[in-house]
Chain A
Amino acid sequence: MTTTEIRPAPEAGGGASDAARPVRWWSGRVSFRMHRRTALVSCGALLLAALLLLVSLCVGSYPVPVPDVARALFYGTGDRLAVHFVNQERLPQALLAILVGGALGMSGAIFQSVSRNALASPDVIGFNSGAATGAILVIVTFGGAAASVAAGAIVGGLVTALLVSVLASRGGLQGIRLVLIGLGVTAMLGSVNSYLLTRSSLNDAQNAHIWLVGTLNGRGWSSVQIMAAALVLLLPPVLLFGRRLRMMELGDDLATGLGVRVNRSRIALTVLGIGLCGVAVASAGPIPFIALAAPQIAAMVGRSPGVSLVSAGAVGAGLLSAAHLASSQFFSALVWVDRQVGWVRVVEESQRNNLLPVGVTTAVLGGAYLAWVLFKRRGTGTA
């Protein structure tokens, strides 16, 4: 045990405040300080995610009552369809929503903190558009096996992120130049993507389109395993470096004075942020807005003085679980509304088994969230 300190949630309230308490485990060998409200928010969000997971096991186009769900989960017996739906579709997808949401939330928190821009996300360095190009190329040329699409997305995203970082390296990894070059590369790749989509068969284009929207539908246990393994690898360094974020937010000079190697930490954190975002995008496509909104909501509800990766991840998991449940129930809900009201016909009965990609929900609600934030701050004049 050489590592004596792990500080997952570096929340120093500034000395003796009662909000941040030191926690010591294992007679002081593992210790960290915890902001009480942030810890509460994290626990609450994770609890919510777990609750949503349980609900999503039961509901759907083939509803399964709670006792049957329990029997299917623990013994694998009962109605064969129920066992299949619960064990092979709903459980892995709900778990994936939690893992992907957590990864996106943490990666968003890292990017927003490192670039000191509340609107920053992995998009800034062109990761998502590069991943999209990679995925479309794989879908168009090789057809769409999930594993190869994921590989194409990761390669495309990494190459683009690397290209943007190298082009912007003169200005350092923060700063406006990075944002601008990312913007240019993103716009160019967007056009390339549109072009590729017109030169493929409609079927391939439609598959690529669904991937681009971001969806958890059709994902199975293999995606969960890959995602979990990646998180197990990435989480320890993320939490270790995460404690430096708080100090780096004080400014480069002060952070250097506190003993942080600012540039090296910034590069390491950017790489880790890309890694987190990369595994998330590879397993579920570029789901929008979780990385943007989760850290902001975590900070707002937690009233924490600075960035907290753990609570951002927990809130991300909760958000994506909620969006996943809402998307998967959307068409069933529409059919139900049609049946109740009678004279409207929004969807056909045959469409009740359609599953809305989760990216649709997060995009619509995310845009509304941004508009709401804008509206709420109308008094201050600044945005």
Chain B
Amino acid sequence: MTAPPTALGRRAAARKPQPEPTAVRSALRGGGLLALAGLLLLLVVLSTWIGTKDTTLGQVWTALWNDDGSYATDVVRQLRLPRTLVGLMTGAALGVAGAVMQTVTRNPLADPGLLGVNAGASAAVVFGIGVVGLAGFGSLVWFSFAGAALTTVIVYVLGASGRAGPTPVRLALAGAAVSASLSGVIAGLTVFDSATYDYLRFWMVGSLAGREPELVVQLLPFVAVGLVIALLLARPLNSLALGEELGRALGARIARTRIAAVIAVTLLCGASTAAAGPIAFVGLVVPLVARWLTGPDLRWVLPYSMLLAPVLLLVSDIIGRVALPGDELEVGAVTAVIGAPVFIAMVCRRKEASL
């Protein structure tokens, strides 16, 4: 939980003096980014094509452009396309939010759940069903969004209450404290309320299935704004990663950067959790892999995370659709089963000092 706080900064500093032919390096990184984009496009096609109902690629193609009212068209337009788009959006949001959080908290193991996002969204969902009496996904989305946002603000204020400001460890502890209390409240509200618990248990897994097409339109603005803020923050975050003093000396405005980063993370995590439920590991593993591919420069890490995370999510979703005959695995279960071994392998490979 408390990795050496300067790990990122130290690695960044260690990389600096290496005499790299920068032109070659950027060309390689740019090419990699393009290749990733191509892979993602391929996965989008696969995701609209593969499923329990057999469809040909031709059917998918016609279904995308005109609605001829056939069953195959309905399947593609009403089920697979929204699902794929939610996957794209959620993935990009989780990946970038994870990368930003790992930099701001200077903890390479931070993930969006750490700021209490998941607990806040779950508590709001439970409150919405059990106390307010809402039903249906549409109205609950806004509840979970508001819950995630509110919790993040509380965690940030609690973490920032010290004289030293929101240090990484304080943020993590505040997140743990608020999550714990909220999980108690959730348990208290659901123990005697089977109907609410029934909804919660399916929400908790994290799934892309059965999302309305309107959901994509509703949540897209939040994700877009969050992504833009995060990408604009790449340079100030780079300075922040070097440590507070050094960052300030380089002209970074620490407080402003941190607050902007928290706003971006809140928008991204809130929207993705509202859309797909708490999906584990994507926000944790993807930035680690991105940094491993590109080096510590966030101007590369952020775009890579933005493409890698939807790749992971769509692959997991497709695997979940075909893995079990007659049953569908939720994407949250698949990402955890794929992500955890990757994570553990990375932890085992690295030297003790660099963890």
Assess whether A371 is in contact with B158, with CB atoms less than 8 Å apart: yes
Q: Is B329 an interface residue (CB 8 A)?
A: yes
Q: Is B333 an interface residue (CB 8 A)?
A: yes
Determine the chain A residues whose CB is within 8 A of the CB of B163 once the complex forms.
378-381
Determine the chain B residues whose CB is within 8 A of the CB of A197 once the complex forms.
201, 204
Q: How many angstroms between the C-alpha atoms of A279 and B308 in the bound complex?
A: 43
Q: Which residue of A lies closest to B3 (CB)?
A: A176
Contact of B192 among A183, A195, A202, A354 (CB under 8 A): A354
> Given A170-B348, A370-B177, A378-B162, is A209 in contact with B355 using a C-beta cutoff of 8 Å?
no
Tell me what chain A mostly uses at the interface: helix, strand, loop, or mixed.
helix
Chain B 252-271 interface residues, beta-carbon cutoff 8 Å to A: none
Q: Is B187 an interface residue (CB 8 A)?
A: yes
With both chains docked as a complex, state the minimum distance between the C-beta of B100 and any C-beta of chain A, in angstroms: 20
Tell me what chain B mostly uses at the interface: helix, strand, loop, or mixed.
helix
Assess whether A371 is in contact with B174, with CB atoms less than 8 Å apart: yes
Q: How many angstroms between the C-alpha atoms of A364 and B187 in the bound complex?
A: 10
Assess whether A187 is in contact with B205, with CB atoms less than 8 Å apart: no
> Given A187-B340, A191-B332, A382-B169, is A176 in contact with B352 using a C-beta cutoff of 8 Å?
yes
- Of the candidates A167, A360, A368, A382, the one having the most CB atoms from chain B within 10 angstroms of its own CB is A360
Assess whether A370 is in contact with B180, with CB atoms less than 8 Å apart: yes
Q: How many angstroms between the C-alpha atoms of A359 and B330 in the bound complex?
A: 28
Q: Which residue of B lies closest to A119 (CB)?
A: B1
Q: Which residue of A lies closest to B174 (CB)?
A: A374
Assess whether A183 is in contact with B202, with CB atoms less than 8 Å apart: no
Q: How many angstroms between the C-alpha atoms of A188 and B337 in the bound complex?
A: 6
Determine the chain A residues whose CB is within 8 A of the CB of B173 once the complex forms.
119, 370, 374, 383
In this complex, the interface size class of chain B, counting residues with CB under 8 Å from chain A, is 35 or more
Q: How many angstroms between the C-alpha atoms of A119 and B172 in the bound complex?
A: 12
Q: Is A206 an interface residue (CB 8 A)?
A: yes
Task: Tally A residues with Cβ within 8 Å of B.
Answer: 56
Q: How many angstroms between the C-alpha atoms of A209 and B164 in the bound complex?
A: 40
Contact of B355 among A177, A366, A381 (CB under 8 A): A177
> Given A119-B1, A176-B355, A185-B340, is A195 in contact with B329 using a C-beta cutoff of 8 Å?
yes
Determine the chain B residues whose CB is within 8 A of the CB of A368 once the complex forms.
177, 181
Assess whether B167 is in contact with A381, with CB atoms less than 8 Å apart: yes
With both chains docked as a complex, state the minimum distance between the C-beta of B305 and any C-beta of chain A, in angstroms: 19
With both chains docked as a complex, state the minimum distance between the C-beta of A196 and any C-beta of chain B, in angstroms: 9
Q: How many angstroms between the C-alpha atoms of A93 and B132 in the bound complex?
A: 35
Q: Is A65 an interface residue (CB 8 A)?
A: no
The 4 closest A-B pairs by CB, nearest first: A367-B181, A363-B184, A191-B336, A381-B164
Given contacts A176-B355, A198-B202, 7 further A-B contacts (CB under 8 A): A183-B1, A194-B332, A213-B191, A289-B180, A374-B177, A381-B163, A382-B164
- Chain B positions within 8 Å of A, measured between CB atoms, are 1-3, 109, 158-159, 161-164, 167, 169-170, 173-174, 176-185, 187-188, 190-192, 194, 197-198, 201-202, 204-206, 280-281, 284, 329-330, 332-333, 335-337, 339-341, 343-344, 347-348, 352, 355
